Amino acid sequence: MAEHVAPGIELRRSEQPVPYRTALDDMTLRNAAIAEGTAEELLWLLEHPPVYTAGTSAVPAELLDPRFEVVEAGRGGRFTYHGPGQRVGYVLLDLKRRARDVRGFVHAIEGWVIDTLGDFGVEAWRAPGRIGIWTSDIDGREAKIGAIGVRVRRWVTMHGFSVNLNPDLSHFGGIVPCGIDEFGVTSLARLGHAVDFEAWDKALLARADRFLAALDRPCPVENG
């Protein structure tokens, strides 16, 4: 029997790394089924083998060293990296049942990740004009600890977020992450916090109700 985050929202946790193309195909099919009313909504927590993904705004010059497979993701944003030690969350929800606010959806995901990081003693924040989740690195400089990228088709969302628990941070060196080269990339492990997938998932899911409630309200930031 499938686990559920809430009534009508399936929870899927993959124990083994899922190839990115496999996950993308699965998400695409599930997105269409949700839109047609033939499948439940889905929260999918997983890990990928090393891969670089290109969003719809990806700039070829920002692919510095294609040492891993490069996949066109179809989500918003530019290049990002996924790999072992990084927790990925794909969030497939029908916004027709909620506030129909894409910006509010992104804002709510950001808040969900930020609050969960806080449960592990990591202060994180949004940065105006910069996509992602940011924190202070061990040298005191601002660094990215999580990425956000979504796509909405027929008001059904797909893709979602990734959080660096303990990935090989050198793998980010093959790209300009999300097109931002002025800042570094960090992880919970680099900041001195040993957090495995089980602990992360437990903390994240404990805050799922608050995340879902936020989707019933318009985005608290100005539209533009």
DSSP string, the chain: --EEEETTEEEEE-SS---HHHHHHHHHHHHHHHHHTSS-EEEEEE--SSEEEE-TT--GGGB----S-EEE--SSSSEEEE-TTEEEEEEE-BGGGTT--HHHHHHHHHHHHHHHHHHTT--EEEETTEEEEEEE-TTSSEEEEEEEEEEEETTEEEEEEEEESS--GGGGGGB-GGG--SSEE--TTTTT----HHHHHHHHHHTHHHHHHHTTS--SSPP-
178 an active-site residue?
yes
CB neighbourhood size of 91 (10 A) = 23
Task: Classify burial at 213, counting beta carbons within 10 Å of its beta carbon; exposed 0-12, middle 13-18, buried 19 or more.
Answer: exposed
Annotated active-site residue in 58, 163, 175, 178: 178
Catalytic machinery residues: 178
